[in-house]
Amino acid sequence: MFEFIGLVVVWWLSWIFIGMLINGFRLRYTDQKINDDLSAFLIGVAIGPIALFPPLDNKTLGGLIGTAAFIAIYLSL
């Protein structure tokens, strides 16, 4: 049980940090907006199954991929 809780915390914190890095570089080195489809996808990956609730969009796709990756990592522990 502690493995699951630890993985949830580490998963969320790491994807939030990765998303901040990606959007930080995009904001600094390009002229792109950071509130776009890639940001929605990264949020979906970070929050996993919760992103599956809204209608189909990029956050839902990220949630589907994030949930599948999380389950695969958890089952390999």
In this prediction, residue 32 has a pLDDT band, given cuts at 50, 70 and 90, of confident
Angle at 19 between CA 15 and CA 21, to 5 degrees: 115
Residue 53 clears pLDDT 90, i.e. is over it? no
- Residues whose CB falls within 8 Å of the CB of residue 41, separated by 6 or more in sequence, listed in order: 58, 59, 61, 62
Is the pLDDT reported for residue 21 higher than 90? yes
Q: Mean pLDDT for the chain?
A: 92
Average pLDDT estimate for 8-28: 94
Give yes or no for residue 65 having a pLDDT over 90.
Answer: yes
